[in-house]
Amino acid sequence: MKIAFIFPGQGSQSVGMMNHYSELPSIRETFDEASNILQQDLWSLASSGPADSLNLTINTQPVMLTADIALYRAWQQAKGSQPHYLAGHSLGEYSALVAAESLSLSDALKLVRHRAEVMQETVPEGTGGMAAIVGLDDDTISSVCTEVVNALPDTSLEPANFNAPGQVVIAGHSRAIAQAVTLAKSKGAKLAVTLPMSIPSHCSLMRPAAEKFALMLDKTTFHPPQIPVLHNVDVQAHPEAASIREILARQLYSPVRWTETIQTIAALGVGHVVECGPGKVLSGLTRRIDKSLENIALTDSSSLLKTVETLR
Of the candidates 277, 281, 284, 285, the residue with the CA atom closest to the CA atom of residue 303: 277
Helix (H) or strand (E) holding 231: none
DSSP letter for 190, please: S
* pLDDT score of 174: 95
Give the Cα separation of 59 and 45 in Å (integer). 8
* pLDDT score of 57: 87
* pLDDT score of 181: 98
* pLDDT score of 124: 86
pLDDT tens digits along 202-223:
999 999 999 999 999 999 999 9
CA atoms within 13 A on the CB side of 171: 21
Active site residue 90: yes
DSSP letter for 83, please: P
User: For 39, left (φ over 0), alpha (ψ -120 to 50), or beta?
Assistant: left
Helix (H) or strand (E) holding 88: strand 85-88
Contacts of 276 (CB under 8 A, 6+ apart): 5, 6, 7, 68, 71, 72, 75, 95, 99, 298
User: At residue 230, does pLDDT exceed 80?
Assistant: yes
What is the average pLDDT score of the chain?
A: 96
- Across the strands, what pairs with 49? none
Active site residue 283: no
CA gyration radius, the chain: 19
* pLDDT score of 169: 98
**Of 12, 26, 35, 90, which is the active-site residue?**
90
**Of 89, 114, 202, 238, which is the active-site residue?**
202
Give the Cα separation of 168 and 177 in Å (integer). 13
Q: Residue 22: which pLDDT band, with cuts at 50, 70 and 90? A: confident
- Across the strands, what pairs with 275? 6, 297
- Across the strands, what pairs with 294? 272
pLDDT tens digits along 86-144:
999 999 999 999 999 999 999 999 999 999 999 989 998 889 999 999 999 999 999 99
Q: Residue 294: which pLDDT band, with cuts at 50, 70 and 90? A: very high
